[in-house]
Chains A and B, each alone.
Chain A
Amino acid sequence: MRDILNGKLGRRAVLGAGLAGASMLAMPAVLRAQDKSLKVGVYGGFFKDSFDKNIFADFTKATGIAVESVAEPTGEAWLVQLEQAARAGAAPADVSMMSQVAILKGQANDLWAPLDAAKLPNSKNLIDRFINKYPDGRIAGIGAVSWYITLVTNTDVYKEAPTSWAALWDPANADKLGLLALVSNSFLLEVTAKTHLGGTNALDTDEGIIKALEKLAEVKPNVRLWYRDEAQFEQALKSGEIPMGQYYHDVTGLAAADGFPVRSTFPKEGGILDSGSWAVSRASKKTEEAHAFIDYMCQPAIQATLSRKVGTSPTVKRDLLDLTDKEFAAVSSDIEPIIPRYDLYQTKSDFLNQKWTEMIAG
């Protein structure tokens, strides 16, 4: 080693070459001489990595618009940053992937630049529910990705797959369930309403919500774990320690493919369909590029790529996709899904949180 360092190739040269190499690798696609560019905010971690690898490079190739991807923090911190920046006339990202509750909260402050349907010809491919609209009909956001939370079981413990969310209430499943711990990410109120109260409209009133909570309280003896940490439940599900619960459809499918004794079932009431939408900050000056990007993402071929590579459920209609039945089933289902009541988490979040916490911890 010492010989190499003292040899012709001096230490300084090695370091210099290393630095140059590293900076070339780190050089983002933006710097490739292009005048058109777009900053796109995506959830940091898995989503950003997958998008960087599978989507953005192809988009730049197809349109000549360079993408600089920005890792968004989770929770609502990003919404707050966008809002404060927009007040100052700046946009930390032109287009951002936002949760449905964040889209609604942004709408309340007119944060999202209205989108022009004429410039989004591909948006007609989308399933209607994936177009976010202001109350006056302007388009605030366009569905980016969606994913399912379903009823999952350990196949060693449950030879037969359950068919209904009603299994959560079955006294035979005492102390066997793992459920998400927060009202705003478990969507169990919606599940309760759809399974026992005739639909999520039952949650329109406070009385309806209380009724759903009372019904949901009946599952408490069956719940072994109210989890915040996904890894904890996933591991317990695989080992059979906690053999039933709610979990992400695609992740469970991957675990089953790896040979773990787990399965994901779409109950007859439907899986829970959660999603993220693209929205453009009103402070962004890249309106044209943003429309081009969102339109590009609405193509059936791109949605199919996302389903295959990222495991998300497509936002476009099924008959437009070239996914095989098996590929489609790996990420989605034809059973009508349970759509979370995002409006409640915007207008009644404190009430819901308080009642929920009292229900599970009381």
Chain B
Amino acid sequence: MRREPPQRLGDYGPLFFPAGMLTVFFVVPFATMIAVSFFQREQGGFYQPAFVLDNYARFLSLFFGRVLGFSLMLAIAVAIACVVIGIPFTYLLSRSKRKIQILWLVALLSILSLSEVMIGFAWSTLFSRTAGLTNLFVWLGLMTQPQALTPSFGAVMTAMTYQAFPYTVLVLYPALVRLDPTLTEAARTLGASPVKAFFTVVVPALRNTILATLIMVFIFALGSYLLPQLLGRPQHWTLSVLITDQAIYQSNMPFAAAMAVFLVLVTLALVGLALYAGRQKEAA
């Protein structure tokens, strides 16, 4: 069947539904948020429609700059960790028996059914002094006494990587399954070690997939606000935590909206930059 470009208005029909949903559930709320971010905050009250820049001005401080910087750094670190663990894992998975593949995929998918709250509580127990993993190490004779591993940056990183890992595998899996095995075979015949073949053939062949995965996990991790609270110290709180504080506890919607708009803009800029860099490299 030959696909023809749409000729009449009716041919665009199937697009109306998603376009409508996107408008109602994304464009309108986002526009509202941008509008509210310019409203006048009334301390001791709520807010008044106005056009003021105070909310953005308050955000432009060293303190919030540091929080934003930390949030971006955390999201990037989680994205890199996921990809670094995810690629070898998925590569080996795609080369294993069908049954084992299915078993792993089902297990990974079941992680997706866990809420952030459950993941947070589970890890805080695993990292606790009284009931945690270190008790196991003590029993094995590796440590002299149990220790609390939370709250710490490592605990936040671990839980967030755990949470994002299934998505990483699900994005990488189709690309790795479709990867032509003769490519690695050729490399091996030409004398490359399996590790060398992996890094010089598999990884470059997947460049676009890897970039897409990094961006997806990055954005996913940027929105996390529960895990940093449950497992981190206050210096590990992300901008999303502070946005929640302002919106829910301080009733300061204009400031919360301004921070959220800022976060979205910075995210879009970073994603744009990554895509641009990817394209430049491809052209070269």
Are the CB atoms of A241 and B44 closer together than 8 Å?
A: no
Are the CB atoms of A232 and B124 closer together than 8 Å?
A: yes
Q: Chain A residues near B252 (CB, 8 Å)?
A: 350, 353
CB-nearest residue of chain B to A232: B230
Q: Choose among B128, B131, B148, B250 the residue that contacts A350 (Cβ–Cβ < 8 A).
A: B250
Are the CB atoms of B234 and A226 closer together than 8 Å?
A: yes
Q: Choose among A105, A225, A357, A362 the residue that contacts B44 (Cβ–Cβ < 8 A).
A: A105
Q: Does A349 contact B (CB under 8 A)?
A: yes
| Interface membership of chain A positions 173-196, coded 1 if the CB is closer than 8 angstroms to chain B and 0 otherwise | 001000001101100000000000
Q: Does A319 contact B (CB under 8 A)?
A: no
**A229-286 residues at the B interface, CB under 8 angstroms:** 229, 232, 236, 239-241
| Interface membership of chain A positions 274-302, coded 1 if the CB is closer than 8 angstroms to chain B and 0 otherwise | 00000000000000000000000000000
CA of A347 to CA of B44 in the docked complex: distance in angstroms?
A: 6
Q: Which of B43, B237, B250, B251 has the most CB of A within 10 A?
A: B250
Q: How far does the Cβ of B146 sit from chain A's closest Cβ, in whole Å?
A: 11
**B112-127 residues at the A interface, CB under 8 angstroms:** 121, 124
CA of A243 to CA of B249 in the docked complex: distance in angstroms?
A: 27
Known: A182-B245, A360-B234. A75 touches B229 (CB 8 A): no
Q: How far does the Cβ of A344 sit from chain B's closest Cβ, in whole Å?
A: 11
Q: Chain A residues near B121 (CB, 8 Å)?
A: 232
Are the CB atoms of B43 and A350 closer together than 8 Å?
A: yes
Are the CB atoms of A76 and B148 closer together than 8 Å?
A: no
Q: Does A228 contact B (CB under 8 A)?
A: yes
Q: How far does the Cβ of B44 sit from chain A's closest Cβ, in whole Å?
A: 5
Known: A225-B151, A232-B230, A346-B44. A357 touches B245 (CB 8 A): yes
Q: Chain A residues near B246 (CB, 8 Å)?
A: 353
Q: Does B248 contact A (CB under 8 A)?
A: yes
Q: How far does the Cβ of B52 sit from chain A's closest Cβ, in whole Å?
A: 14
Q: Does B130 contact A (CB under 8 A)?
A: yes
Are the CB atoms of A241 and B249 closer together than 8 Å?
A: no
Q: Does B45 contact A (CB under 8 A)?
A: yes
Q: Does B17 contact A (CB under 8 A)?
A: no
Chain B residues in the interface with A (C-beta under 8 A): 41, 43-46, 58, 63, 67, 121, 124, 128-131, 148, 151, 229-230, 233-235, 237, 242, 245-246, 248-252
In the assembled complex, 29 residue pairs joining A and B whose CB atoms fall closer than 8 Å, in A order, are: A75-B251, A77-B251, A80-B46, A104-B44, A108-B45, A181-B234, A182-B245, A224-B148, A225-B151, A229-B229, A232-B230, A239-B131, A240-B130, A241-B129, A241-B130, A346-B43, A347-B43, A348-B43, A349-B44, A349-B250, A353-B245, A353-B246, A353-B252, A357-B63, A357-B242, A360-B234, A361-B67, A361-B234, A361-B237
Query: Which 10 pairs from chain A and chain B are nearest by CB?
Result: A361-B234, A360-B234, A346-B44, A76-B251, A239-B130, A241-B130, A241-B128, A105-B44, A80-B46, A358-B63
